[in-house]
Structure 1
């Protein structure tokens, strides 16, 4: 990060005066910032600024104290906080942050706590991460933006009116919600308030393929992919031993079909939504007629199948989680090998897949030296892919899940890129995982950069 931040502790104090604007600042912090007693200092927290008057107190740490009425004005729950701070002497302003809002869709039953679905545990982890690094974290839905959010305290998610966030992390579960009129209005309000939203929307498989195929140096890693039509089915099924038919907007390995060549003119097919494998042989025309009703009106792609490495006969690929760091550079924060369930054609955990340590998984297929080389190449390819998607996508991209396969010749293939990657892969064992810390660090960067623009 190009700006120098100071960690501070914010505590509350009771005051008989409801209009008390005295800001108690430790002498240690005053010396660092060259502040004087009696001086006016504006405090910027979230999107609200309040002018206060400094009173120096004897404290060995970087501590500031607000009267409770100022906490109320900031819509900040009364508790002790660790924040990052940036002082701008030209305008006598001390900014505290970050205030991170996580946007998602959830329901709250009367008398019950909210449940944030597949990211519920990850939200608790983000809370712990921001407590450790500094800042305030809460969760909201877009139809309650600026009205109510949920913050974590004493093991519970508590509803409250809360400060506007500095940064919003988009974890909406449904693609459809990103296209409704209310969400578009919400996006407009963020632009007016100058609040950055990162991972703005889901990415389609065809969009990702088109972006990556623009980069000549990535061509060798891309399975041939086309929009699903009868003509493209005929072309690719005859060209490759297997092809996959996938929904453009699909996820978690659902609604996928695999067509395999049996001999020169006959084929078999398998779907991800049938428990049994159809071993019959068909002409391509017949397969097309059988699968067309299954696809309905959804848009699909057809993609070259890759003979991936296997583990005990089950296919293997690698999920690489990448984040943008405080220098605006992409880095790998975690990686797992995914092993498909028996007879499954995809490795997704939602389809019964399991995870292994990457080096251990590759070690069952090759010697240690080769496994190490391939893992390094996977990381390099993931970072290059993330940088390309980030460069070509609308808005701010800060997190991507990249699926990479290795074929039986040791060649790498880019299978998929996910802008809302699952949080079930990393085994944190109760610790704060690198991905949670990376998100908080990115939000800290965006908070203080945005305020300086």
Structure 2
């Protein structure tokens, strides 16, 4: 059952809660109290004063990080008293829930353990006139449609830039910002992120040589000298990335089309450029192609996620190796990938060394990016390459980490649970 109660404090070193007698009489078994990530045992007592007030001892109040003279929604069940919070998850449509059903189920269920009600919704579900939202939640092993007040904290999981850039989505999202704190509100501009990384001594040496909006002559100079990539600054999941190289006096371009790798060869560079970049390279960068470490000619890269906690501090939440299950000359594409732990590829000593380096880099960069970002960041994902000399290269930083590695797999279930916990721990920080 749930109650709206105002919290008041009284000086006492014991962990005690004193509730109205009518509530105490119905819930005598309460022995613990939870406020987000904070959990404590308690003595459960009753009073006959104001029926809308709950008294919490000063020592327990401090441990739970609760604020006095504030009204909370309190849930009582079995032995546990929980402070109730809300998290909204901004999605594209119900199809996104179907695609990542296991991941969203785990996320919502993890929220329950922190006292959170979670609602998944898209832009058409918002009713600002009545300050409500109609969306979906997962209870009793099924997805159910519910209505609720607009959540004060929202986690943006819009899956791609096209949907996020839709005028109606943008309009509703901007309106939503007046009601809620949205974390990870936008996809990154990759060139802006690259420039920020160039400003940091932590990451400057990790970056491949890159030029923004190269001219046709610049591209020709590069391809005559070395293989290179053409990448969009607003791209994601490996889309619209082109690999250019010169092979036996021919100019070759390789890209992914409908999940398949396609290579076209041209006798002149002008023909290649006209066929693929007839409008120029505005919004693109040219980047040197790093010869990455490979296994059976299948290139690997390393993904690292960072997440924030209830104290607004960054942590490394997962590190894994990503390898295409087919021979490819493109980097970090999202199609048909296999995933592994570091020690599946490297010796224990090498894996520990790489992990320590990655930890130091991503935590420093997470703090660096946050300082220059207008908005709340609760998680980040980093794409690293590693060459034959075991040197690390930083290719990309994402504000919307992919979930394909977690969906329908138990390999990283423990790590994904931890990521879910971090998301609610950070949502708790924002709610406070």
On whether the aligned pair clears a TM of 0.5, the verdict is: yes
In structure 2, the partner of 1:374 is 354
User: Using a 3 Å threshold, how does the CA distance of structure 1 residues 144 and 286 change in structure 2: closer, same or farther?
Assistant: same
Tell me what 2:162 maps to.
176
Partners of 1:438 and 1:395 in 2: how far apart? 18
What do the CA deviations read for 1:345-378 (whole angstroms, capped 9, x no partner)? 23546322211112212x2xxx542332122212
Mapped to 1, the partners of 2:200 and 2:189 lie a distance apart of 18
Separation in 2 of the partners of 1:338 and 1:100? 31
Residues 111-130 of structure 1 aligned to structure 2 (within 5 Å)? 116-130=97-111
- Identify the match of residue 146 of structure 2 among 133, 136, 160: 160
Q: 1:359 aligns with which of 321, 343, 347?
A: 343
Q: CA deviation digits over 1:36-87, x for unaligned, max 9? A: 648xxxxxxxxxxxxxxx85444442479xxxxxxxxxxxxxxxxxxx9764
Which of 116, 119, 142 is residue 138 of structure 1 equivalent to? 119
TM-score normalised to structure 1 length: 0.74
Correspondence 1:179-328 to 2 at 5 A? 179-193=165-179, 195-226=180-211, 227-239=213-225, 241-262=226-247, 267-273=251-257, 275=260, 278=263, 280=265, 282-293=267-278, 299-328=283-312
Cα root mean square deviation, aligned: 3.4
The separation in 2 between residues aligned to 1:37 and 1:279, in whole angstroms, is 76
Answer yes or no: is the 8 Å Cα contact 1:405–1:414 preserved in 2: yes
Unaligned runs of 5+ in 2: 34-43, 45-62, 74-82, 127-131
1:61 to 26, 31, 43: 31
Give secondary structure in 2 for the equivalent of 1:272.
strand
Does the 8 Å CA contact 1:221/1:414 hold for their aligned counterparts?
yes
Distance 1:437 1:130 in 2: 7
- Point out the more displaced range, 174-183 or 307-316: 174-183
Q: 1:314 to 1:159 in 2, by over 3 A?
A: same
Structure 1 residues 118 and 210 mapped into 2: Cα distance closer, same or farther (>3 Å)? Answer: farther
Matched, 1:97 2:84: yes
- My pick for the range that moved more, 324-333 or 121-130, is 324-333
Cα drift, residue 200 of structure 1: 0.6
Contact 2:239–2:333 at 8 Å: present in 1 too? no
Alignment of 1:39-58 (within 5 A): 56-57=24-25, 58=28
TM-score if structure 2 supplies the norm length? 0.77
Answer yes or no: is the 8 Å Cα contact 1:332–1:379 preserved in 2. Answer: yes
Question: What does residue 397 of structure 1 align with?
Answer: 377
